[in-house]
Amino acid sequence: MNDPLTRLPGQPHIARRDGVLCVENVALDALARAHGTPLFVYSKQWMLDALAAYQRGFEGRNALICYAMKANSSLGVLRVFAEAGCGFDIVSGGELGRVLAVGADPAKVIFSGVGKTRAEMKQALAAGIGCFNVESEAELEVLNEVALAAGQRARISIRINPNVDPKTHPYISTGLKGNKFGVAHDRTVAAYQHAARLPGLDVVGIDCHIGSQITEASPYLDAMDKILDLVEAIEATGIRLHHIDFGGGLGIDYNGDTPPAADALWKQLLARIDARGFGDRQLMIEPGRSLVGNAGVCVSEVLYTKPGDDKNFCIIDAAMNDLPRPAMYQAFQQIVPLQPRMGTAALYDVVGPICESGDWIGRDRALDVQAGDLVAVLSAGAYCMSMASNYNTRGRAAEVLVNGGQATLIRRRETLDDQLRSEQLAG
């Protein structure tokens, strides 16, 4: 039998034992019975191992790994990274609230995003975050005003757009000229000179983030060369940059993808930094997907199979509101039965119950399934739960964190009452 799990080197913490699919030492069918479906299950060990690869890469360096929490912002997940000493890359005041709720050190928080509001800036200054990653000249002015009004100086870095092609899906490319992110390469030095003159700002670093699900080293190496060119040009004007923040974006193995290992990639990048004489600067990175993506699966029940002339449909109880990546990016995630049958597989489009043709989870998948079977959608740790919605008035799924043989419910299933609570009738 062709068991797809044997082809998934990126997911060593998911395995079949006695025919049952397990995350670490916990059987997924038992979790589904206890908590219902759809159910997200995460391996703590996978997260810590992914983090360790970066930590090995930075051994002996002054480095700070800031988990880009938009990938998965559940408190139980944040706590894992806070306890491991990570900082956090946030993109909203709400995310700051979550970081503070798990007791993380605000000094290790960096604030990215093109549309920070004055209220969010105020909140972040009051919390004492480490750095604002400013994305435009206009934002420099507003942050300067907000900081002066608060009687503070805001530590800033300017996000530069290095104009390199990360060779990924257009919706997750962020470092090309046509993207909304960062300050254009040729305006960077002037922007830094201007920032250095603003009394409410304290210029401390430089940053970039070129895209997501990057599976080759070359775009990173190109971006690093461009960043280091700019560090030289900026410092030639007398501004000292204490840190270089290189963003996130490293890909994971969804379907035989072969991204470079974090430690091997950083070995190459650090060689460039050292060769240019900037090895003494603090290094920061903002990985999201590569710290959580393959830690998670989404367990779902097959509700119906529906044969058709053109296609067979396998209708499961997870949908685009739980797993938005296929609908948003035509993304591929493996779908595996929890307990394989011994019959013959048919080709199915695996879809959810939502009333949209865009509500599909996998296309043309060879599966041997019947109603009532459980399946696991793999690689569901990043950009699934954090993007989940209530579309079709579906409550958001429950989440479980597994640590060895122990399973902890870190989010209960959302109820209808939860959804209706903030609404009221007119008049």
Ligand X SMILES: *Cc1c(COP(=O)(O)O)cnc(C)c1O
Kindly list the residues in this chain that would bind ligand X in the complex (CB under 6 A).
Answer: 68, 70-71, 89, 112, 209, 212, 247-249, 286-290
Whichever of 38 and 293 has its CB closer to ligand X, that residue is 293
Distance CA(11)–CA(5), nearest Å, equals 8
Picking from 347, 328, 338, the residue whose alpha carbon sits closest to that of residue 386 is 328
Of 63 and 71, the one with the shorter C-beta distance to ligand X is 71
Least Å distance between CB 326 and ligand X?
17
Cα separation, 348 vs 367, whole angstroms = 7
Which tokens sit at 408? Answer: 């902890």
Burial of 330 (0-12, 13-18, 19+ CB in 10 A): exposed
DSSP E strands, 210-317:
243-245, 282-285, 296-306, 312-316
Instruction: Kindly give the residue spans of alpha helices, DSSP state H, lying in 172-214.
Output: 188-197
User: Is 355 part of the annotated catalytic residue set?
Assistant: yes
Q: Which residues contact 6 (CB under 8 A, 6 or more apart)?
A: none
Smallest distance, ligand X to C-beta of residue 113, A = 7
Min. distance of Cβ 222 from ligand X in angstroms?
17
Rounded Cα distance between 42 and 61, Å, is 30
Max CA separation in the chain (angstroms): 72
Count of CB atoms situated within 10 Å of the CB of 18: 6
Q: Give me the residue label for tokens 């903030």.
A: 422
Give the tokens for residue 115.
């549309």
* Cα–Cα distance measured from residue 88 to residue 69, given in angstroms and rounded to the nearest whole number: 7
In this chain, which residue has its C-beta nearest to ligand X? 288
Nearer to ligand X, 248 or 324 (CB): 248
* Residue 32 vs 378, nearer CB to ligand X: 378
Nearer to ligand X, 290 or 379 (CB): 290
CA 135 vs CA 184, 203, 217: distances in Å: 10, 14, 25
Cβ neighbourhood burial of 362 (10 Å; 0-12, 13-18, 19+): buried
Alpha carbon distance 54, 66 (integer Å): 11
Q: Which lies closer to ligand X via its Cβ, residue 71 or residue 203? A: 71
The residue (of 108 and 209) whose beta carbon lies closer to ligand X is 209
Nearer to ligand X by Cβ, of 35 and 108: the residue is: 108
Catalytic hit among 66, 86, 131, 355: 355
Q: What angle do CA 29, 332, 401 make, to 5 degrees?
A: 35
Smallest gap from residue 73 Cβ to ligand X (A): 12
Q: Least distance (Å) from ligand X to the CB of residue 368? A: 34
Give the Å distances, CA to CA, from 15 to 9, 38, 52, 381. 11, 20, 21, 16
Minimum CB distance to ligand X, residue 387 (Å): 12
Distance CA 55, CA 47 (A): 12
Say if residues 387 and 72 touch (Cβ distance below 8 Å): no
Task: Supply the minimum distance, in Å, between the C-beta of residue 111 and ligand X.
Answer: 10
| Residue with smaller CB distance to ligand X, 200 or 249 | 249
Residue 363, token pair as written in the block = 């296309």
Distance CA 151, CA 371 (A): 63
Least CB distance to ligand X at residue 34 (A): 30
Q: Strand pairing of 346-351 and 312-316? A: parallel
Least Å from the CB of residue 314 to ligand X: 29
**Cβ neighbours around 227 below 10 Å, total:** 26
Q: Which residues participate in catalysis according to the annotation?
A: 355
